[in-house]
Amino acid sequence: MKAKGERRKTAGGMRKGSRRSAVGGQRKAVSSERSAPRILTRAEFDRLIDELVAKCAVYAPVAVEETGKLEFRRIGSSSEVKLEGLADVGVVGQLGLRPKELLFPQCEVLFHFSPSEPGRMVEPEPPQEQVLFGVRPCDGAAVAFLDRFFSGRSDSSAPSDIYYRARRERTTLVGLACNRPADTCFCRAVGGSPSGTTGLDLLLTDLSDGFLAEPVTEKGAALVADMPVASQADMEKKQRLAENAGQAITTTIDTASLKRRLDRTLVSEGSGPADAVWQALSLPCVNCGVCTFLCPTCRCFDVTDEEFRGRGRRMRVWDSCQFTLYSRHASGHNPRATPHSRFRNRVMDKFSYTVAMVGELSCVGCGRCISACPNGIDIRETVETLLKMLPE
């Protein structure tokens, strides 16, 4: 009963292979003798969390009063965690804090400096160990994508991002399978699964009378090594839940065909019929940054310095390709001056560009951009239209 990192759907030109993280040597796939699924009662689960809280930072879904939504918060005790019924709601962190922010914060200090000592730039203290509970499989897949994007490339022109890596190496992701996906979920259409393990260290499934815990990495196995091994009946129950959840997601996308169609539009920009398709699709888009900021794979950043009373810092701050400022040169020239070219860039990034860059789609089907778009733009409809309107 070995839990395997499943392979994601491959699109044209995509490299096949394991999605095991290229970042962080700690995340070894679990050895077969430690891979046996375990069973955790709620009491054992609470004990595990309280033990971890004493050792490191623990984040888990918490119902937030102001927003009325579930978001990840640092917890001080197992009593704060809301796990009942959690497997039955949509993706966590639709609003508020999301797992991405714990690996790639919206504002992150790169260096501290003092203008009186030019040339001296001091890196911040290394991040602390953290464990994230209740990460959804789509978000796990997104982390695996970020691992690959932020890791060094073989051609050495793009070295590894040490800030991302430092956080990633000190992070353990404990997933929670979705028993009832939301109506905005479409992970299966982009190669994921409501019970997928990609990017995770341990996957929990809510069996209602306890959690089934399947180790994915050695890190994950270590958390549950002393728990009882699950029975055949537990495994069968999990299997049924996973199948039901999978069947609830009916959206399908021919991602390979989509990529071929999208790639054909690259050359005809500006004049070709594809441009009219993009213009029509982007009309309701107002180029705000909601979709990109909430997207678990969007990773663009700006670098900005600030100085206050003799102390300064260089920070990186999330940026969005939907903003005009994003691509505007200091001279005023803007290579993506039109709203539809910015809209297009985002969709192309998800379904074409990152396949060319690192061999993977960068849409994991979490549906956050659908539920958060102020004008109700639905990426599934966008993709449907593109498949219909663009020639193969």
Give the footprint of other proteins on residues 333-392 (CB under 8 A).
Answer: 333, 335-336, 339, 341, 345, 348-349, 352-357, 370-378, 380-381
Site for other proteins in 184-223 (CB under 8 A): 184
Rounded to the nearest whole angstrom, what is the least distance from the CB of residue 366 to other proteins in the complex? 14
Site for other proteins in 256-285 (CB under 8 A): 266-267, 269-270, 280, 283-284
Residue among 336, 345, 356, 252 at smallest CA distance from 291: 345
Cβ closest to other proteins, residue 210 vs residue 367: 367
Rounded to the nearest whole angstrom, what is the least distance from the CB of residue 1 to other proteins in the complex? 38
Q: Binding other proteins by CB under 8 A: which of 25, 32, 55, 68?
A: 68
379, 370 contact by CB (below 8 A): yes
83, 93 contact by CB (below 8 A): no
Site for other proteins in 118-147 (CB under 8 A): 118-119, 121, 123
> Taking the CB of residue 58, how many other CB atoms lie within 10 A of it?
27
Count residues binding other proteins (CB under 8 A). Answer: 97
Cβ closest to other proteins, residue 6 vs residue 378: 378
Cβ closest to other proteins, residue 235 vs residue 357: 357
When asked if residue 331 is in the footprint of other proteins (CB under 8 A), the reply is yes
Rounded to the nearest whole angstrom, what is the least distance from the CB of residue 354 to other proteins in the complex? 8
Q: Binding other proteins by CB under 8 A: which of 158, 248, 387, 389?
A: 158
- Integer Cα distance of 220 and 217 in angstroms: 5
Cβ closest to other proteins, residue 55 vs residue 388: 388
Rounded to the nearest whole angstrom, what is the least distance from the CB of residue 233 to other proteins in the complex? 38
Site for other proteins in 167-186 (CB under 8 A): 183-184
Cβ closest to other proteins, residue 118 vs residue 391: 118
SS3 content of the chain, % helix, strand, coil (to 5): 35, 15, 45
* CA 160 and chain centroid, separation: 18
Burial class of residue 334 in the structure, from the number of CB atoms within 10 Å of its CB (0-12 exposed, 13-18 middle, 19+ buried): middle
- Integer Cα distance of 208 and 240 in angstroms: 13
Q: Binding other proteins by CB under 8 A: which of 35, 171, 172, 287?
A: 287
When asked if residue 51 is in the footprint of other proteins (CB under 8 A), the reply is no
- Integer Cα distance of 143 and 319 in angstroms: 18
Q: Binding other proteins by CB under 8 A: which of 18, 31, 41, 67?
A: 67
Rounded to the nearest whole angstrom, what is the least distance from the CB of residue 78 to other proteins in the complex? 26
Strands (E), the chain: 38-40, 57-63, 70-74, 107-113, 121-122, 130-135, 171-176, 202-206, 211-215, 301-308, 311-318
Q: Binding other proteins by CB under 8 A: which of 206, 214, 319, 360?
A: 319
Cβ closest to other proteins, residue 40 vs residue 358: 358
Cβ closest to other proteins, residue 95 vs residue 222: 95
When asked if residue 150 is in the footprint of other proteins (CB under 8 A), the reply is yes
Strands 301-308 and 57-63: unpaired
DSSP string of 116-176? TSTT-EEPPPPPPPEEEEEE-HHHHHHHHHHHHHHSPPTTSSS---HHHHHHHHTEEEEEE
Rounded to the nearest whole angstrom, what is the least distance from the CB of residue 53 to other proteins in the complex? 24
Residue 41, H or E segment:
none
Burial class of residue 116 in the structure, from the number of CB atoms within 10 Å of its CB (0-12 exposed, 13-18 middle, 19+ buried): exposed
State which amino acid sits at residue 381.
E
160, 23 contact by CB (below 8 A): yes
Rounded to the nearest whole angstrom, what is the least distance from the CB of residue 199 to other proteins in the complex? 19
Cβ closest to other proteins, residue 45 vs residue 72: 72
Site for other proteins in 76-115 (CB under 8 A): 95-96, 106-107, 110-111, 113, 115
When asked if residue 288 is in the footprint of other proteins (CB under 8 A), the reply is yes
Strands 70-74 and 121-122: unpaired
Cβ closest to other proteins, residue 133 vs residue 326: 326
